[in-house]
Structure 1
């Protein structure tokens, strides 16, 4: 009887210990399959002081390339479903930002918005790319806007999804939690991860529990790293003084149920970039490219077509 109980206890402990690891292996397998379906491959790009992991693919003829920039604590995998709609006629470049994904973290590495934008310029140079259409999500939108304002010769257009980077006109759930010392990105337990995950999307796709367990463990393991990256980007200068420098066609895409960045922030962006076009979607949260990948791609395709027409005119 004792041996049976010991065996059951061992199986329970083994299952608890390996469950996130199994999820991690499954996640890697699914990512490789998604990348193949999206016709992109992993390409390391050496820049000053580090190497950035990227997905690259797509056509290399006349249409200018697309640069897709993910947000804080995310990685390049977020764009795989979205980019599937563009590889037939655009070269695409999707990096893991420094400190994220497979690009690696270095303590004291400077993860400010200005530094991350500079790395994007170095990556474009190393890839032999002159000008790009930039698409950014959340912190990636902050970086993309910094690029458009400070490196205008490199940016052809700007699409911003739930952008951070301006002073908030009203209290925000994330900012309030940070002030209380409860940064929702800095995860200590699966329960905290589940609350955080619920904040990111209003209509998330179905994700198996084993994958969520793996993602939760990744956040827990990287908590100290994410804290340093968050401090660097959160302390970066807000964009208001430079928004008027953004002269390229600009699309703002916001989910009305975005709990990370309130829709009220759009007022500041539209005041600073008055030529920008704002699209707001019901039933969508902070990550439209994940929640509605086909619709987001169609919206962006329409925007890109308008950019081309304005250039021809």
Structure 2
């Protein structure tokens, strides 16, 4: 990233750093995660270049490029013992970031309904082929609760959503949302990894998530009932309980972590 990074920081400056990476919906979709951690620890919530009206530097068009930028951020800030939490596309960025972390700056990785790998027989849903109703039906357990009719939104908000979708298409490479070169590299990731999945996700299924977890050498797969692609929005209490337990078990540790409650 060659342009200034849009970054929101909150929480105690001396707490364990938590880097929260959003998916295609933008930073608002993971703001509750950042707020949750900021109550007790240092939290960083970047806006990926190209989202919410931010500029995308010329030549920056890959998840690997985003991950490299965030790795530079950790180095420049002299941050270590970092917990990385990524949702959807943010999980893909987090996986790439952990795979590229040769200095051991990351001590814990959480992938929440992440995309980014290829799994035979379990393709990621073509998000770009869905209308707003289809997105709600595929992404949420309770689609009626979260469906928003685009006709009710102001023109400015619709423009932001369209620009975010365009940025998602650029970085994801299109409907497949995967990099065939990523999965073979994940076995070398040393940071303990929690792969957390909403059971009702139809964008990337729980079966896809299980394969994601199996790609790592030190990972666990956990599910959240009655939740879809964004479990922290539909079922915050059980989701945050799993996140908190994982954070407590991994801070400053490199050994395999114990079973979560």
Normalising by structure 2, we get a TM-score of 0.82
**Aligned to 2:5, what secondary structure does the other structure show?**
strand
Stretches of structure 1 lacking an aligned partner (at least 5 in a row):
1-47, 178-182, 186-191
Q: Which has the larger radius of gyration?
A: 1
What do residues 163-191 of structure 1 show as CA deviations (whole Å, max 9, x unaligned)? Answer: 1122123243624x7xxxxx337xxxxxx
Contact 2:107-2:191 at 8 Å conserved across structures: yes
Give the distance between the partners of 1:79 and 1:94, measured in 2 at CA.
9
Residue in structure 2 matched with residue 213 of structure 1 by the alignment: 153
Deviation at 1:307, TM superposition (A): 1.6
* Cα distance change of structure 1 residues 174 and 217 upon mapping to structure 2, 3 Å threshold: same
Give the distance between the partners of 2:18 and 2:152, measured in 1 at CA.
30
**Equivalent in 118, 130, 136 of residue 197 of structure 1:** 136
Residue in structure 1 matched with residue 65 of structure 2 by the alignment: 115
By percentage of residues, which structure has more helix? 1
Contact 1:243-1:269 at 8 Å conserved across structures: no
Contact 2:188-2:217 at 8 Å conserved across structures: no
**Aligned to 2:39, what secondary structure does the other structure show?**
coil
Give the distance between the partners of 2:98 and 2:112, measured in 1 at CA.
15
Residue in structure 2 matched with residue 266 of structure 1 by the alignment: 209
1:99 aligned onto 2:78:
no
Kindly report the root-mean-square deviation, in angstroms, between the aligned alpha carbons of the 2 structures.
3.0
Residue in structure 2 matched with residue 231 of structure 1 by the alignment: 173
Aligned residue pairs total: 251
Give the distance between the partners of 1:244 and 1:287, measured in 2 at CA.
26
Give the distance between the partners of 2:33 and 2:151, measured in 1 at CA.
20
Stretches of structure 2 lacking an aligned partner (at least 5 in a row):
none
Deviation at 1:156, TM superposition (A): 0.9
Contact 1:134-1:144 at 8 Å conserved across structures: yes
**Aligned to 2:172, what secondary structure does the other structure show?**
helix
